């Protein structure tokens, strides 16, 4: 069954998997189809971890797919002589190929914990910089105003236009009014679901100024795709000026919201 040529052809098909697979990953960055620019402090350790796992799995990928190709190539019934090896297994091999991956994976598990703790567990001790309330289909922002406290008369209200200072610890208080959303900042390697009924802290530090996307990454209804915001990172001075101007504009266009109304949103 199957001529010799058939065997060669099919082996090469299986060889194409690791070859083209690696090639895809190799050329993707040059087409800008790769991790977007990182501008947060913790992001580099996430990226580092990504590359580390890419290398690790890459080695496993090339090795296993390579072996598969090699065996298919070599042990083609039309080519190889004599009967197949009559063997039921090897105890030693089983132990080896259990222990090595086990050790590797355990190492990986422990190695990454620190980064996870930095991003999700070691919350900086500070008052929230801004409160983000997700809602179908927009991001409602609330800055604490001059007194530095949320829920007071001088709170500043905005939608979808988040401004934050560079090189400072930022603590966001994330809430949702209706359904689940997810606060995704690709360039900051930040993602956190917003859950109605919960207040979830999100923190990071921006390294660079600029404008970036806020993406909603959890299905929240028909308008999920357009729940888009922008985050502007600027110097402290610019940020303060922007805060003043926006506050003045808010004062001019509408009466300060009642404390009670603001509190009711909690």
Q: Which is nearer to other proteins, 25 or 247 (CB)?
A: 25
Stretch that binds ligand HEA, among 13-21, 99-107, 126-134, 252-260 (CB under 6 A): 99-107
SS3 call for 132: strand
Write out the E strands in 136-239: 138-143, 156-159, 161-165, 169-176, 181-185, 190-194, 200-205, 210-216, 229-234
Q: Does 101 bind ligand HEA (CB under 6 A)?
A: yes
256 — alpha (psi -120 to 50), left (phi > 0) or beta?
beta
**Which residues, 135 to 154, sit near other proteins by CB under 8 A?**
136
Stretch that binds ligand HEA, among 56-64, 66-74, 116-124, 158-166 (CB under 6 A): 56-64
Q: At residue 254, what are phi and psi to the nearest 5 degrees? A: -150, 155
Q: Contacting ligand HEA (CB under 6 A), which of 44, 90, 104, 114?
A: 104
Residues that bind ligand HEA (rule: CB under 6 A) add up to a total of 6
**Which residues, 15 to 34, sit near other proteins by CB under 8 A?**
17, 20-21, 24-25, 28, 32-34
Q: Which is nearer to ligand HEA, 16 or 102 (CB)?
A: 102
Q: Does 126 bind other proteins (CB under 8 A)?
A: no
The encoded tokens of residue 33 equal 């189809």
Q: Which is nearer to other proteins, 47 or 147 (CB)?
A: 47
* Least distance CB 228 / ligand CUA (angstroms): 10
Query: If DSSP states are collapsed to H, E and C, what string results for 252-263?
Result: HHCCCCCHHHHH
**Which residues, 159 to 218, sit near other proteins by CB under 8 A?**
177-180, 182, 184, 186-187, 189-198, 200, 212-213, 215, 217-218
* Least distance CB 57 / ligand HEA (angstroms): 6
Q: Does 60 bind ligand HEA (CB under 6 A)?
A: yes
Q: How many CB atoms lie within 10 A of CB 95?
A: 10
Q: Contacting other proteins (CB under 8 A), which of 19, 41, 76, 257?
A: 76
The encoded tokens of residue 135 equal 């809602």
How far is 73 from 63, CA to CA, in rounded Å? 15
**DSSP code at position 35:** P
Q: Are 243 and 143 in contact (CB under 8 A)?
A: yes
Total count of residues recorded for the chain:
266
Residue whose C-alpha is closest to residue 123's, from 42, 179, 58: 42
User: What is the rounded (10 degree) CA torsion for 184, 185, 188, 190?
Assistant: -10
**Which residues, 213 to 232, sit near ligand CUA by CB under 6 A?**
216, 218-220, 224, 227
Q: Which is nearer to ligand HEA, 64 or 235 (CB)?
A: 64
Stretch that binds ligand HEA, among 35-43, 88-96, 98-106, 149-157 (CB under 6 A): 98-106
Residues that bind ligand CUA (CB under 6 A): 134, 137, 181, 216, 218-220, 224, 227
């Amino acid at each position: 069954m199957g001529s010799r040529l058939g065997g060669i052809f099919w082996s090469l098909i299986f060889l194409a998997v690791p070859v083209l697979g690696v090639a895809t990953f190799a050329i993707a960055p040059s087409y800008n189809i790769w991790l977007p620019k990182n501008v947060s402090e913790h992001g580099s350790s996430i990226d580092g971890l990504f590359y580390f796992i890419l290398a690790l799995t890459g080695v496993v990928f090339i090795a296993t797919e390579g072996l598969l190709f090699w065996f298919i190539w070599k042990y083609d019934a039309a080519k190889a002589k004599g009967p197949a090896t009559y063997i039921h297994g090897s105890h030693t091999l089983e132990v080896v190929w259990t222990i090595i991956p086990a050790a590797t994976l355990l190492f990986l598990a422990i190695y990454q914990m620190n980064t996870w703790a930095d991003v999700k567990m070691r919350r900086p001790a500070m008052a929230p910089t801004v409160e983000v309330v997700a809602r179908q289909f927009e991001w409602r922002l609330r800055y604490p105003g001059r007194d530095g406290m949320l829920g007071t008369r001088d709170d500043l209200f905005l939608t979808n236009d988040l401004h934050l200072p560079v090189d400072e610890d930022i603590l966001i208080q994330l809430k949702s009014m209706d359904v689940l959303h997810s606060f995704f900042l690709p360039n900051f390697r930040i993602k956190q679901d917003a859950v109605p009924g919960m207040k979830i802290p999100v923190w990071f530090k921006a390294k660079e100024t600029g404008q970036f996307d806020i993406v909603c990454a959890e299905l929240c209804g028909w308008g999920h795709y357009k729940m888009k915001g922008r985050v502007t990172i600027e110097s402290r001075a610019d940020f303060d000026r922007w805060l003043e101007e926006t506050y003045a504009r808010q004062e001019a266009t509408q009466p300060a919201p009642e404390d009670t109304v603001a509190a009711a949103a909690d």
